[in-house]
Structure 1
């Protein structure tokens, strides 16, 4: 089966890609939507330019979709690009958002391809724990009470996941960050040939929310 994977760089899209590869499918394309709207209804924004390094590391061709991020129109921009590809289906990291899932499914129906969402309605805490084991992912933005500046750029792993889960429980933060409470980016995964190493970055913090903006990065050996 020939597949395109919607890939934002975040942990959920990486997990969905990991799942597709483990099915033995031919993932021929990574599709990244670069929205000019920071409040996009559909697509992950922080550090999307680093997805080019993911393409290089995995050897999977990257399709960049540039959109103004206008509600509904950004979906049409994605559809126009997918129509050009010789694929049987797409895989996405849709987990809980009915808005996202419905629109992705609609695109697939229009094009005549299949839609796969392997994380759909799965246990969010389990996914968070699994991704922390399989991937080097870090928080690249936070916007929720309880998540302060110290979490920006921090890798989530066995040393801090229990602390994070306690914060989520205390402040009722969605464990999949479905409310925009945080965004993540994957710097290494089992399907990467090389990992992404940050060379330069800046942290922006306004006292309530902030971002970890990567200014320079490169691929390096995992050894």
Structure 2
């Protein structure tokens, strides 16, 4: 079965790709949506340009789609791109968002392909720990929740960081996996990648949230 993976460079799409290859599916393309809206609920935004280096490290061709800011129109370019790929289905990193899952399922129904979400309803705390244990280097690229201060930007998640996220979950109720938009991520290295993505960045922090601004990036 030929599959395209919706790829943001973040932890969820990377692990969905990792799962798809372990299922024995023929992953032919990665597809990245560059949203014109910084407030998009559908697409990942911070450091999205790093997907180009990540795809090179993974060794798969990357299809780039630019989407308009209007939520009602932002799915059209993705749907049109998928129609041209001649695949049997897509794999997404949807974890708990019914909004994302329903919209992707509708695209696939419209063009006659299947939609797979291998992470759907995984236990969020266990899932992130599983990724870290398997050697995924998860970098925090954006912070948007109480308890996540500027020091988290650029941090690579490890056991200590996950313990802190557990404490923040108990104190503030945030998702350890960032599923509520508490933080965004980029996978700089992992077992499915041939070379590490190195990133030079600056931190942009405004009041109680912030993101990294990529200044330079390259493959190690």
Residues in 1 aligned to 2:9 and 2:170: alpha-carbon distance in whole angstroms: 26
Residues in 2 aligned to 1:84 and 1:191: alpha-carbon distance in whole angstroms: 26
- Residue 139 of structure 1 is matched in structure 2 by 140
- Residue 59 of structure 1 is matched in structure 2 by 59
Deviation at 1:69, TM superposition (A): 2.6
Alignment of 1:120-135 (within 5 A): 120-134=120-134, 135=136
Q: What SS does the corresponding residue of 1:159 show, helix, strand or coil?
A: helix
Alignment of 1:50-89 (within 5 A): 50-89=50-89
Deviation at 1:163, TM superposition (A): 1.4
Q: What SS does the corresponding residue of 1:73 show, helix, strand or coil?
A: coil
Residues in 2 aligned to 1:49 and 1:161: alpha-carbon distance in whole angstroms: 26
- Residue 7 of structure 2 is matched in structure 1 by 7
Residues in 2 aligned to 1:146 and 1:214: alpha-carbon distance in whole angstroms: 24
- Residue 166 of structure 2 is matched in structure 1 by 165
- Residue 112 of structure 2 is matched in structure 1 by 112
Deviation at 1:103, TM superposition (A): 0.6
TM-score, normalised by the number of residues in structure 2:
0.96
Where in structure 1 do 4 or more consecutive aligned residues deviate above 4 Å? none
Structure 2 unaligned regions, length at least 5: none
Deviation at 1:122, TM superposition (A): 1.2
Deviation at 1:58, TM superposition (A): 1.3
Q: Is contact 2:124-2:176 (8 Å) kept?
A: yes
Residues in 1 aligned to 2:54 and 2:18: alpha-carbon distance in whole angstroms: 13
Structure 1 unaligned regions, length at least 5: none
Deviation at 1:64, TM superposition (A): 0.2
Residues in 2 aligned to 1:130 and 1:206: alpha-carbon distance in whole angstroms: 32
Q: How big is each residue's C-alpha offset from its partner over 1:183-210, in whole Å with a ceiling of 9 and x where there is no partner?
A: 0110001110111012x21001123111
- Residue 24 of structure 2 is matched in structure 1 by 24
User: Is structure 2 residue 195 aligned with structure 1 residue 194?
Assistant: yes
Residues in 2 aligned to 1:72 and 1:176: alpha-carbon distance in whole angstroms: 27
Deviation at 1:146, TM superposition (A): 0.5
Residues in 2 aligned to 1:57 and 1:69: alpha-carbon distance in whole angstroms: 30
Q: How many pairs align?
A: 219
Q: How big is each residue's C-alpha offset from its partner over 1:147-191, in whole Å with a ceiling of 9 and x where there is no partner?
A: 111111000012321112111221110233222111011000111
- Residue 208 of structure 2 is matched in structure 1 by 208
- Residue 96 of structure 1 is matched in structure 2 by 96
TM-score, normalised by the number of residues in structure 1:
0.95
Residues in 2 aligned to 1:140 and 1:165: alpha-carbon distance in whole angstroms: 19
Residues in 1 aligned to 2:219 and 2:15: alpha-carbon distance in whole angstroms: 20
Q: Is contact 2:165-2:176 (8 Å) kept?
A: no
